[in-house]
A and B are shown apart, each in its own frame.
Chain A
């Protein structure tokens, strides 16, 4: 699976959009981009995933560049409860759900 690179930490003001970048320059054509987050002492929570097109759900939007070498997770109106570690993971459809976690981005939403 392709390696992903994320900033170690980010801050965001409450109510503003949080834009979390992820680089995956070696991603292959059959690898999806998945985003999970982990709030302290809990299991990871699924946020969103995509292959080529931008995706949006009730939690977030995922913007994938045309060359698929990077993506951005957008939390449109961050709240204090969005403070967590966010993981961007590339996963191919023949891996059966075997997610390999990097270090992620620690997002701190501040009042």
Chain B
């Protein structure tokens, strides 16, 4: 069964609104989680590294004020897309590594459509 769960799996929001995506590690404590986005026919692009209890580290070119990441507990990280625009429509995926980092697990992904 899934060890990393994302919610919601699909969301549609209006342009200008904010939407939150959750990523949970189900049976292990994830000190570090990662957020990716993926456009159709393209590979996964790393957006940011989320560390429990500290600020996220963003990859070059990713706007930290637009993609707010919170990792308040060892089992939950959230990604909030603020003031969403149609170009933010994408597949967002999280991954988590915990005590046994050698295996990194991914969530099922969340489809965001901004209309």
Contact = CB atoms under 8 A, between A and B. Distances in A.
B109 A43 contact: yes
A101 B104 CA distance: 13
A47 B108 CA distance: 15
Nearest to A89: B104
A49 interface: yes
Nearest to A95: B101
Contact of A41 (B34, B91, B96, B101): B91
B32 A96 contact: yes
A101 B96 CA distance: 15
Nearest to B32: A96
Nearest to B111: A41
Nearest to A102: B43
B44 A97 contact: no
Contacts of A93: 101
Interface in A14-63: 32, 34, 36, 38, 41-46, 49
B43 A46 contact: no
B97 A49 contact: no
A43 B38 CA distance: 10
B106 A43 contact: yes
A44 B106 contact: yes
Interface string B1-45: 000101000000000000000000000000010101000000111
B6 to A, nearest CB: 8
Nearest to B4: A43
Given A42-B108, A46-B103, A97 B43 contact: no
Interface of A: 32, 34, 36, 38, 41-46, 49, 85, 87, 93, 96-104
Interface of B: 4, 6, 32, 34, 36, 43-46, 49, 91, 93, 95-97, 101-109, 111
7 contacts: A41-B111, A43-B6, A43-B108, A44-B44, A49-B103, A96-B97, A101-B46
